[in-house]
Amino acid sequence: MPPVIEIDNVSFKYEGSERPALLGINLQINRGDFLLITGLSGSGKSTLLRLLNGLIPHFYRGEMKGRVLVDGIDTREASVAQLARKVGLVFQNPDNQIVTLRVDREIAFGLENLELSREEMRERIDWVLEKLGIEYLRKKSTYELSGGEKQLVAIASVLAMKPFVIVLDEPTSELDPFSSARIVKVLGNLNREGIAIVVAEHRLDLFSHRANRIIVISNGQIVREGNPRDLLYMKDISVYGVRPPTVVKLAKSYGVDDKPLTVGELLISMRRNIR
Ligand SMILES: Nc1ncnc2c1ncn2[C@@H]1O[C@H](COP(=O)(O)OP(=O)(O)OP(=O)(O)O)[C@@H](O)[C@H]1O
Ligand SMILES: [Mg+2]
């Protein structure tokens, strides 16, 4: 199957900026991928995400080289609204995304461009609320939601459009551990059902065991790429500002050699080593 998103040798420089924010990026996103993008602050993670749904070049001014194909269509030739049906972007801060006063209206808002009948629209809202387990929020005021609930509503609004890729920029940075774990689980479930998930994140503890690929960006370039187990156990990975999960540090300091990524895996490895 062809990749759902293809980035061909893309460089991008924001208007007024001296140096490019992205340089010579080549990346393919496949159906079923759970891709983690990591790297230091300012390395270009958010900029890379903005390429995936056409915010670059349609919304952010600057100079773009190379091309991005979404479902075979060059993003320069599609509108942001057309691309939103294929690639949903969840912002870092849901307050910047939520525009209406009630949860069901919020989900309906994104659907308005899709020219659905009233009945279809209601079905989509029911479907997405049930899917994310947030029926109880249906009639709630958006300004009464907790941070975690807001993030779920933002994901619901994007998911209601039935995109084949959902892109999230540090989706748990404002959340408590419980809400973060819930978001991670929801994303894992959506991924299992065939939606590609792309997450920019510098805290890897939560996501690395869900991802099938990680890329590391440094100064606008992809400097490392691999599956989480191999990549997070690389010797030089901290050079790029990557902080491997605590489990990885523990496994290394105890000399466990089968690359566990979760506490459960670490315990199994340690028991095996003791015997
Ligand atoms: N709207 C903008 N206009 C001009 N320059 C920008 C803009 N957004 C980002 N940049 C610059 O582009 C480079 C990459 O920034 P970007 O926001 O993509 O990094 P990031 O990896 O997402 O960082 P963080 O982890 O802090 O979110 C930085 O040098 C930044 O200053
Ligand atoms: Mg960012």
Can you spell out the DSSP letters for 144-167?
Answer: G--HHHHHHHHHHHHHTT--SEEE
- Read off φ and ψ for residue 232, nearest 5 degrees: -75, -20
Model confidence pLDDT, tens digit, residues 36-66: 999 999 999 999 999 999 999 999 999 999 9
| Ligand 1 atom index nearest CA of 92 | 27
| Cα 199 to ligand 2 centre (Å) | 11
- Which atom of ligand 1 sits closest to the CA of residue 60? 1
Using most ligand atoms within 8 A of CB, pick from 47, 61, 204, 223 the residue to mutate for ligand 1.
47
Average pLDDT over residues 144-171: 94
CA 47 to ligand 1: nearest atom: 18
CA 67 / ligand 1 centre spacing (Å): 20
The pLDDT value recorded for residue 275 is: 64
What integer pLDDT is reported at residue 113 of this predicted model?
A: 81
> Which residues, 6 or more positions from 155, have their beta carbon under 8 angstroms from its beta carbon?
90, 132, 166, 168, 171, 183, 186, 187
Distance CA 85, CA 82 (A): 6
pLDDT at 33: 97
Cross-strand pairs, 221: 218
| Ligand having the closest approach to the CA of 50 | 1
Give the burial string for 25-57 (b: 16+ CB within 10 Å, else e).
bebebeeebbbbbbbeeebbbbbbbbbbbbbbb
- Residue bearing the bigger pLDDT, 127 or 175: 127
> What's the chain's average pLDDT?
93
Ligand 1 pocket mutation, candidates 10, 17, 168, 201, criterion most atoms within 8 A of CB: 17
pLDDT, tens digit, 9 for 90 and up, residues 68-88: 999 999 999 999 999 999 999
The model carries a pTM of 0.95
Model pLDDT, residue 75? 97
Give the per-residue pLDDT at 257: 83
The pLDDT of 146-152, averaged and rounded, is 91
Q: E strands within the chain?
A: 5-14, 22-29, 34-38, 62-70, 73-74, 87-90, 165-169, 196-200, 213-218, 221-226
